[in-house]
Amino acid sequence: MDIFLQQIINGLVQGSIYAMVALGYTMVYGIMGLINFAHGEVVMIGTLVAITVVTFTLKLGFPVWLAGATGIAAAAAVCMALGWSLERIAYRPLRNAPRLTPLITAIGMSIVLQNVAMMVWGRNYMTFPSLVEKTQFEFGGAAFTSVQVMIVLVASISMGGLLFLVYRTRLGMAMRATAQNPAVAGLMGVNANRVIASAFVIGSALGAIAGVMVGTYYEIAHYQMGFMLGLKAFTAAVLGGIGNLAGAMAGGVLLGLIEALGAGYIGDLTGGFLGSHYQDIFAFVVLIGVLMFRPSGLFGEKTGDRA
């Protein structure tokens, strides 16, 4: 039982990170029907910026909380600027191009960003300085740390904030209107460019927070870390129904749980025929399964001709 509980905790924390990243995919897709495959790299850059800034400010003698806050702020600022520029450079000129074209630029941008990060930060693994004292807790035989609690908390708060923004503010209303029909929203006085840019900026800010979470959780970072994380988060977004905010959150957490429980129990269930090396494959089995049997995802509405 304690093992089961431990796996649930593992999955929940991992899932919160997936969910945060998945929101970036789902927001952009919801508004303009584009899959921003460079989003994983935005998260990666967020982590690396945070590492650099935190290490630097700690060296300057900042107290830990201030160094952490500066790191998060810097990561968010850089990622927001990056998200905005991505939209401006790579996607806006192609907004009326055939659907395949922006997809190709997205993949191109992802490769460009990886290589830029490699040039700036080098190829080595980087260590994230410990920001929080890792207090260890025991609950029903399962161990977890303060960092894990914080990740779930911050993820919940950020997601709550996003839901508030989308459903309770003017910008949110404009976003929902643009998502439904950009032309009609435009006639109603909605500036589509601004709405789309803000979707990128907000998604990237969430990505930056997710990047800092990954950094504080594993305490390592690397210029290639965004790729797999991006694919998993994309899967989570599809699982929940791409374009649907609550779906992305649920999809992320669900995917984290599937992976943790899958890796933990598949060996016993199949008598050793399948092993824990299938941990990464679960995500893609889920992706294919969802696309085959429920393309609109668990929570998605009819996606119509935009799919």
Which residue's CB is nearer to another protein, number 87 or number 259?
259
Question: Identity (one letter) of the amino acid at 79?
Answer: C
Choose among 239, 253, 236: nearest CA to 156.
253
| Smaller CB separation from another protein, 131 or 199 | 131
Nearest to 43, CA basis, from 296, 228, 273, 236: 228
Torsion of CA 88, 166, 148, 297, to 10 degrees: -90
To another protein, the closest distance from the beta carbon of 205 in angstroms equals 23
The rounded radius of gyration (Å) of the Cα atoms in the chain is 19
Distances (CA, A) of 177 to 226, 265, 266: 31, 45, 44
In degrees rounded to 5, what are phi and psi of residue 138? Answer: -120, 135
Calculate helix-pair angle for 192-218, 64-86, nearest 10 degrees: 140
Out of 104, 143, 288, 307, which residue is the one contacting another protein (CB under 8 A)? 143
Told to check if 230 binds another protein by CB under 8 A, we report no
**Is residue 279 within the footprint of another protein (CB under 8 A)?**
yes
Minimum CB separation of residue 204 from another protein in Å reads 22
CA pair distance 3, 29, nearest whole angstrom: 37
**Are 233 and 252 contacting, i.e. CB atoms less than 8 angstroms apart?**
yes
Residue 110 in the binding site for another protein (CB under 8 A): no
Residue 83 contacts residue 203 (beta carbons within 8 Å): yes
Q: Does 275 bind another protein (CB under 8 A)?
A: yes
Write the interaction track for another protein spanning residues 188-227; mark x where CB under 8 A is met and - where it is not. Answer: ------------------------------xxx-x-xx--
| Helix H or strand E segment including 305 | none
- Nearer to another protein among residue 145 and residue 193 (C-beta): 145
Q: How far is CA 12 from the centre of its chain?
A: 14
Torsions phi, psi of 142, nearest 5? Answer: -105, 140
Out of 180, 191, 270, 276, name the contact with another protein by CB under 8 A: 276
Burial class (CB in 10 A: 0-12, 13-18, 19+), 278: middle
Q: Which is nearer to another protein, 148 or 296 (CB)?
A: 148
User: Smallest gap, in angstroms, from Cβ of residue 14 to another protein?
Assistant: 6
Which of 260, 283, 286, 290 forms a contact with another protein (CB under 8 A)?
260
Nearer to another protein by C-beta: 33 or 267? 267
> Per CB under 8 A, which of residues 144..173 are in contact with another protein?
145
Nearer to another protein, 32 or 213 (CB): 213
Q: Tell me the closest approach of the beta carbon of residue 264 to another protein, in angstroms.
A: 5
Does the protein bind another protein through residue 127 (CB under 8 A)?
Answer: yes
Task: Compute the least distance from the CB of residue 118 to another protein, in Å.
Answer: 7
Task: Give the pairing type, strands 126-127 and 220-221.
Answer: antiparallel
Options 228, 269, 291, 307; binder of another protein; rule CB under 8 A: 228
- 70 contacts 54 by C-beta, under 8 angstroms: yes
d(CA 38, CA 279): 23
| 280 is a site residue for another protein (CB under 8 A) | yes
Binding site residues, another protein, CB under 8 A: 2-3, 6-7, 10-11, 14, 118, 123-125, 127, 130, 134, 136, 138, 143, 145, 218-220, 222, 224-225, 228, 259-264, 267, 272, 275-277, 279-280
